[in-house]
């Protein structure tokens, strides 16, 4: 993930009804907002890794290679549910 993507997620998870999250050069967030940020970043990073595996799928036509790549992507996604 890029810094810009992380900051975008940060702005999305902050409660806009409270204090502005970006104030005087500092982030002001609650524990709940931080937990939402971490969960969203973990999900996004896991998905990016899984997609990277899937992109390798068509580089080789060997059946075993394709199965291994898809298994890799599946295992990365499942890590979020443990």
**DSSP secondary structure letters along 42-55:** HHHHHHHHHHHHHH
Residue 77 is part of which domain span?
3-81
pLDDT of the residue at 65: 74
Number of domains in the chain: 1
- Residue 6 sits at the vertex; the CA angle it makes with 78 and 47, to the nearest 5 degrees, is 20
Could you give the percent of the chain with pLDDT greater than 70?
Answer: 82
pLDDT of the residue at 61: 64
**Segments of the chain scoring below 70 in pLDDT:** 18-23, 56-61, 80-82
């Amino acid at each position: 993930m890029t810094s810009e993507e992380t900051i975008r997620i940060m702005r999305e998870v902050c409660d806009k009804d409270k204090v502005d999250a970006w104030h005087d050069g500092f982030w002001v967030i609650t524990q709940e907002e931080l937990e939402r940020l971490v969960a969203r970043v973990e999900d996004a990073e896991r998905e990016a890794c899984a997609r990277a595996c899937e992109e390798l799928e068509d580089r080789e036509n060997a059946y075993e290679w394709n199965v291994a790549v898809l298994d890799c992507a599946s295992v990365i996604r499942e890590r979020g549910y443990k």
